[in-house]
Amino acid sequence: MDYKNHIAQKLNIEGVSTEEIQSFITPTPSQDMGDYALPCFRFAKALRKSPVAIAEQLAGEFVTDDIITDVKAVNGYLNFTVNRMGFCSATLKSVLSEKQNYGSSNEGNGKTVCIDYSSINIAKPFHIGHLSTTVLGSSLYKIFNFLGYKAVGINHLGDYGTQFGKLIYAYKAWGDKQTVEKEGLKELTRLYVKFHEEAETHPEMEDAARAYFKNIEQGEQSAMQLFNWFKELTLTQIEKIYDLLNVKFDSYAGESFYNDKMQPVIDELKAKNLLTESDGAMVVDLSAYDMPPCIILRSDGASLYATRDLAAAFYRKNTYDFDKCLYVVAYQQNLHFMQIFKVLELLQKDWHKDMVHVSYGMVSLEDGSMSTRKGKVVWLEEVIEKCIEKCLAIIDEKNPNLENKEQVAKQVGVGAVIFGALSNNKIKDIVFSYNKVLNFDGETGPYVQYTAARCSGVLAKADINFEDYTLPNKLESCEYELIAHLSTFGDTVKAAAEKYEPCFITRYAIDLAKLYNKFYFECKILTAEDKNLVKFRLALTKAVRITIENALSLLGISAPERM
């Protein structure tokens, strides 16, 4: 039952469409206030009345029925109470019948969303700082697919620039193939750090590095062999981390992919008289928009990030004809994307309005920041492995006879890392704490996973077929609260997509786990005297398990059967 639509159809507000009314209706924060609320302050200006007067008028005009049993005007809000038994029956039926599709929709059918995330640098560490972009983008990818969109996951690899000239210089000077093959990215990082240490006293090395990079740009064979080798080593190693994190991509088109696609963009900028010269460089003047110039070509004719990002935007629009193009990139790049989007607007590309910078805060460990150049780096793979090891130690202590405990430790350890990164609003900086993310009693991934396992444990002990359950004549308050929360999952997923905030889903999952555990301790499930009550509570437990599993899957997290 679409209660919001039903309510909206019964309301008549001058100058406001049914669709608009429906979009304003939200669940109430407390069941004492009813089930749904319409804030009437949204109509005050158009109707030239106070929100209180509007709410009272609408309440007087609204005709209740067997679906909406009561309506009240409260401080400028219109609060609606649904037929709770019908509501609970419909909600449980939806969850149990739709299963892994519960909460999904087809609202995105025929629409494409490109999502640029992770975007790691070739031959550089995949470190803790890459955690947010990787899991945030991956979750948005899953959320949009769940809502019927065609999501295109893009790993815009950092595989272009003078750092590759530096790495070739360092490899030729101090590296060897056997060590690089054995140590992979750690050895390449050591060589990169050594270059910067030596270059402090030998600045001529910078010129040599630029020369090596020019060889790459010109396709010189020996330089390209090393460049492609470094790239292959990197992708092989990071693919293991992506597999651990349940992260997928549809495209690995990095910066170098756009090397031959920049000139048409430059030509169009020239044709529309948007390029001007500044100290030998070619720029788009954005001073009229309170922004510094967007540099397109340096004084030596070299391209920059902006040039390649503009070429990538054109390519993505032409290739995917996206409805939205998201860039999951840290907030330090706010100005960069403001410039890119403004240049597209000045190029009269009406799709510039469909470009979105999904900015996020930084991740650090409790002991401080990082610098690849100085060799101060915290490898993401090591963070994940440490979480898995700590989780296995907890299992060995609390449930040493658990079957497949190594697999469970992996699911919980990885889940803790992902959930910890997605627990708060994306813009907040995160200080990663092993003890905090692995807390089985706090608002964490392991707590939610443990609740899912608890549901499975209850269901495994049941020796009764509960598919033919019926609702009891009277629901306990904790039962109604649980079902009411189950009913909001679809709205939560939609809100997470609209705001680009997977934390809406982590919070939903935590609240659902809390409500189920309250129900678990307050109500007899398997030992209730009434046989139908046992069936109903088992059905409710099954619905909770399904919904937790669906929520966690949208974050990229598994829901173990046992813990």
> From the first residue on, what is the mean pLDDT of each consecutive set of 10 residues in the chain (563 residues)?
90 92 91 91 92 96 93 95 92 97 97 96 85 96 98 94 91 94 90 92 92 87 92 90 96 91 96 94 96 92 89 98 97 96 98 97 69 65 91 92 94 95 88 78 92 97 93 93 95 96 97 97 94 97 98 98 92
CA pair distance 421, 437, nearest whole angstrom: 9
Q: Does domain 380-424+433-555 have CATH number 1.10.730.10?
A: yes
pLDDT at 373: 54
DSSP string, 82-98: E-HHHHHHHHHHHHHHH
Domain boundaries 3-82, corresponding CATH code: 3.30.1360.70
- Other beta carbons within 10 Å of 213: 22
Decide if 64 contacts 109 (C-beta within 8 A).
no
CB atoms within 10 A of CB 137: 29
Q: Delimit the CATH 3.30.1360.70 region(s) of the chain.
A: 3-82
Only one residue has tokens 């992506």, namely 242
As annotated, the residues of the chain forming the CATH 1.10.730.10 domain(s) are 380-424+433-555
CA 45 to chain centroid, in Å, comes to 36
| Rounded-to-integer distance, Cα 523 and Cα 229, Å | 61
Question: What span, in angstroms and rounded, lies between the C-alpha atoms of 333 and 350?
Answer: 23
Task: State the alpha helices, DSSP H only, in 11-130.
Answer: 18-24, 44-47, 51-61, 84-98
For residue 375, the model assigns a pLDDT of 54
Residue with tokens 């000239």, as numbered in its chain: 165
Q: Report the first-to-last Cα separation within the chain, whole angstroms.
A: 36
Pick from 419, 133, 340: nearest CA to 249: 133
Give the CA distances from residue 9 to residues 21, 120, 143, 312, in Å, rounded to whole numbers and listed in that order: 9, 49, 29, 44
Please tell me the predicted confidence (pLDDT) of residue 126.
85
pTM of the predicted protein model: 0.89
Cα–Cα distance between 223 and 200 in angstroms, integer?
A: 24
